[in-house]
Amino acid sequence: MEQTTTKTTPCQRERLLVAGQQLFYARGVSVRVGALLKEANVARRSLYEHFGGKDGLVAAVLRRAADEDLGWYEVALADAAEPRARLLGLLDRRDELVSNADFRGCRYFATDLGIADPHKSGTCGDQGVPAAPPRTSRA
């Protein structure tokens, strides 16, 4: 008797998050919704049901990234007892990150640069992502 295996696929929300992480980092947040839907293999309705739209997906991807980064920092800091060793451990890890062939820069800055006016688009405060402080000009 031939055995069939079923490949477990993540839920639509998870597929959208993964697609968002990959495409926003590779192409920026200006990537078209159609490309996100195609990469995630979901219908447009799923994007709006789970995130309220593309801006909500951007915010969720950034929240996930922040959680991952915070976890990484906590582990890196827990591995060393002395302040100097902690700092050197963080710098070593950062060096590993930027030396990776897939490294394309800071995902937070890339997102900020890809949004024309984050306060107008609603991607900051009302999506659970803290808004950046107002910029002041230097004389």
Q: Taking the domains of the chain in order of start, what are their residue ranges?
A: 12-115
pLDDT digits (tens, 9 = 90+) for 4-53: 443 444 699 999 999 999 999 888 899 999 999 999 999 999 999 999 99
57/31 Cα distance (integer angstroms)? 12
The angle at the Cα of 61, spanning 55 to 67, to the nearest 5 degrees, equals 140
- The model's pTM is 0.69
22/26 Cα distance (integer angstroms)? 6
Q: Is 68:81 a contact under the CB 8 Å cutoff?
A: no
Token couple for 8: 């477990």
Whether domain 12-115 has CATH 3.40.640.10: no
User: Which secondary structure element, helix H or strand E, spans residue 65, and what is its range?
Assistant: helix 54-78
